[in-house]
Structure 1
Amino acid sequence: MSFHLVVGHGPAGAATTRLLAEQGHEVRVVTRSGRPAQAAPGSTGDGGVRHLALDASDPAALARAAHGAVAIHGCAAPPLPQWAARWPALSASLCAAAEDSGAVLVMLGNLYGYGPQPDPTRPLTEDLPLAATGPKGRVRAAAWEQARALHEAGRIRAVEVRASDFFGPGVTDGGHLAARAMPGLLKGRPVAVLGDPDAPHSWTYLPDVARALAEVAGDERAWGRAWHVPTAPAASIRAMVGHLAAEAGTAPVAVRRLSPVLLGAAGLFSPLLRELRETRYQFDRPFVMDSADYEAHFTVRATPLKEQVEATVAWWRERLGS
């Protein structure tokens, strides 16, 4: 049994914690509160996982927590409006803890760092330059570039696993598809969405994120570069809502695009909507991620979409008591 440190206990951190514990590892979780997030419906809990209260951007405190760990899983993220201000300290602390402890740094990343592509019909691959021009994309790219530079200098061992928008049980952030759709969809109500509801989009299943983070932590072939989480073929928002409604027994459900004018006005009062302006391109046109390179080297595969939808609807039914 080995010791893994998971930094952050949002949906991805919680899923990774549960998986590592199920695999028999000792797991400690770092959050500011030191308290586990509310258990997901149907979950058996963290099974004796130890939760630590500390500021992960404090390098000395994080290094002490990571002492003896084989891997540090960086699953934390500041609130979206605070990314530019707080990501640099958090990423520097993760790197310092990895250097001090000798643990492999496994960073959970996203696709913001690539920025808008000249040809949106071309799937995103890991060899694309990190060319984001917006502040959130730049700060996420800088976090990985810092870790990669330290890896290449021989000071740490690091790997980044990048996911597209999360989908699946436990994803409750209002910016994600099921969180926006399911409360109304279960009652047969129309679903209002950002962007073009018919543009193909990649949705990464949350349990597959956890499986990929756990797999690369123990395989040195993965270290030193970024990989895309195995993700099912892209599907439009309209198609995904259709799958969810069919499974819930409420089909057909209308899908309505929110007016850009209305979104602009709402952004005056909503910090989240203001921040999402930078990444609106991901929903206004095709946004497709290619995970073939990961699948050519490792064992994790994307969960079949049918299983994803079944599990997601069941989770939301239990959560909402529907």
Structure 2
Amino acid sequence: MTTHVVVGAGPVGLAVAEHLRERGDDVAVVARHVTDKLPVGAEHRRIDVTDAALAKAAFEDADVVYHCAQPPYDLWPDLFPELTRGIVEGVEATGARLVVAENLYMYGDVDDRITEDLPYAATGPNGRTRAECARMVLDAHDEGRIEATIGRASDFFGPRVRNSVVGEQVFGEAVDGKPARVLGKPKLPHTYTYVPDFARALVLLGERDDALGEAWHVPNPETVSTRQFVELVYDAAEVDPVLPRIVYLSGPLLTLGGAVSSSLDGFVNSPPLKEFVERRYSFEAPYIVDDSKFRNAFGDAVTATSLETAIDATVAWYREQEPVTGPIHIETGEEQSFGATHQ
């Protein structure tokens, strides 16, 4: 039986672990904090994988390692390369296969559909950092040091996803009957990724030899405008259609983080918004992700959940949660769990 080690206990890491456990696979999750959110039967390993020797110990019995962790958003340039390097060296030392969960920051501002053959043209510090980490992984594969593949997702939503541009600010507000708070121009098309689809795609990539050495955009539901997305959420939450459903931050206010209505204070005053300005382009122009490479290569092995079904499931998850108190810090990447702390 294959043994899987998942680094990161955020929404994607937990979704990967959950999918693997549902199949009956052995799973260990490397995460900083002790958590009661792990799937039944998953092992917890509290090991600092930024240290290559400790990463080797964490991965010793692994056939496949999934890198689904990230440092705090505002510390990516300082910490992300160290995290990725430790994982790569740990995988190299054990002979495990590496699957990396990534976003799309490395491409920068794109005028057309977003495909895997685009250059890494990001100019901001976080986009450049993601490009550096991607090159580190693919270079190690090309040099024959490891076997690796990368799955890339757009801004995502789904169960457990709170710190996303369409997380608590949209789904949480909807189930509370309050207006959604979004960034950029909601009338524009924007591709969103459903986290359970992302997880299933990452597992598939780790199983396929023909996926190695390349990056893949995972399957996504149909692309609609952010306004249409919000409307589907509010319909699923059965919010009175006469109530206002959306407020948004765009243009100079998005850049400056300036004074806006008090209904937006929850995310205007949060530090990650300052970092978000780096990629405001993705919400102020059409942002359409092309996943045809994955679909053409792997057929129906993993298909995207329909947008309505995915939204219904996400609304149901939010209804089961305790209310959130205090501001939600918006993130637009994947995991919020940075490796682990060795204690």
TM-score (norm 2): 0.86
1:255-294 alignment, distance < 5 Å: 255-258=246-249, 260-263=251-254, 264-265=256-257, 269-294=269-294
CA contact (8 A) 2:185 2:250 kept: no
* Alpha-carbon distance in 1 for matches of 2:177, 2:205: 41
Residue 237 of structure 1: how far off its partner (Å)? 1.4
CA contact (8 A) 1:31 1:56 kept: no
Structure 2 residue aligned with 1:304: 306
CA contact (8 A) 1:130 1:141 kept: yes
Structure 2 residue aligned with 1:245: 234
CA contact (8 A) 2:165 2:182 kept: no
Match of 1:52 among 27, 30, 45: 45
Residue 320 of structure 1: how far off its partner (Å)? 4.2
Structure 1 residues 187, 7: closer, same or farther in 2, change over 3 A? Answer: closer
* Alpha-carbon distance in 1 for matches of 2:181, 2:236: 19
Match of 2:203 among 214, 218, 228: 214
* Alpha-carbon distance in 1 for matches of 2:312, 2:174: 14
In the alignment, is residue 315 of structure 1 matched against residue 317 of structure 2? Answer: yes
Identity rate, percent = 40
Structure 1 residues 98, 242: closer, same or farther in 2, change over 3 A? Answer: same
* Alpha-carbon distance in 2 for matches of 1:12, 1:248: 24
Residue 107 of structure 1: how far off its partner (Å)? 0.4
Residue 284 of structure 1: how far off its partner (Å)? 1.0
1:62-77 alignment, distance < 5 Å: 62-77=55-70
Match of 2:90 among 87, 93, 97: 97
Q: Which amino acid aligns with 1:99?
A: E
Structure 1 residue aligned with 2:184: 195
Structure 1 residues 74, 159: closer, same or farther in 2, change over 3 A? Answer: same
Residue 311 of structure 1: how far off its partner (Å)? 0.3
* Alpha-carbon distance in 2 for matches of 1:269, 1:189: 19
The number of aligned residues is: 310
1:62-141 alignment, distance < 5 Å: 62-117=55-110, 119=111, 122-141=112-131
CA contact (8 A) 1:161 1:212 kept: yes
* Alpha-carbon distance in 2 for matches of 1:290, 1:126: 8
CA contact (8 A) 1:6 1:29 kept: yes
Gaps of 5+ in 1: 40-44
Of the structure 1 ranges 262-271 and 242-251, higher mean CA displacement relative to structure 2 is found in 262-271
Match of 1:142 among 132, 150, 155: 132
Residue 98 of structure 1: how far off its partner (Å)? 1.3
Structure having greater relative contact order (Cα 8 Å, sep ≥ 6): 2
Structure 1 residues 19, 262: closer, same or farther in 2, change over 3 A? Answer: same
Structure 2 residue aligned with 1:154: 144
Residue 161 of structure 1: how far off its partner (Å)? 0.2
CA contact (8 A) 2:13 2:69 kept: yes
Structure 1 residue aligned with 2:10: 10
CA contact (8 A) 2:222 2:306 kept: no
TM-score (norm 1): 0.92
Residue 256 of structure 1: how far off its partner (Å)? 2.0
* Alpha-carbon distance in 2 for matches of 1:178, 1:149: 34
* Alpha-carbon distance in 2 for matches of 1:68, 1:297: 30
* Alpha-carbon distance in 1 for matches of 2:240, 2:286: 25
Q: Which amino acid aligns with 1:22?
A: E
1:132 alignment partner, SS class: coil
Residue 54 of structure 1: how far off its partner (Å)? 1.5
* Alpha-carbon distance in 2 for matches of 1:198, 1:15: 30
CA contact (8 A) 1:183 1:320 kept: no
Per-residue CA distance 1:144-190 (angstroms, 9 max, x = gap): 111111111111101000000111111011x3313211232224322
When the two chains are superposed, the root-mean-square deviation of aligned CA atoms in Å is 1.7
* Alpha-carbon distance in 1 for matches of 2:314, 2:45: 29
1:288 alignment partner, SS class: coil
2:224 alignment partner, SS class: coil
Match of 2:162 among 151, 163, 172: 172
Residue 58 of structure 1: how far off its partner (Å)? 1.0
Structure 1 residues 285, 259: closer, same or farther in 2, change over 3 A? Answer: closer
Per-residue CA distance 1:28-65 (angstroms, 9 max, x = gap): 111122x12x53xxxxx512211011212111101111
Match of 2:216 among 200, 224, 227: 227
Q: Which amino acid aligns with 2:227?
A: R
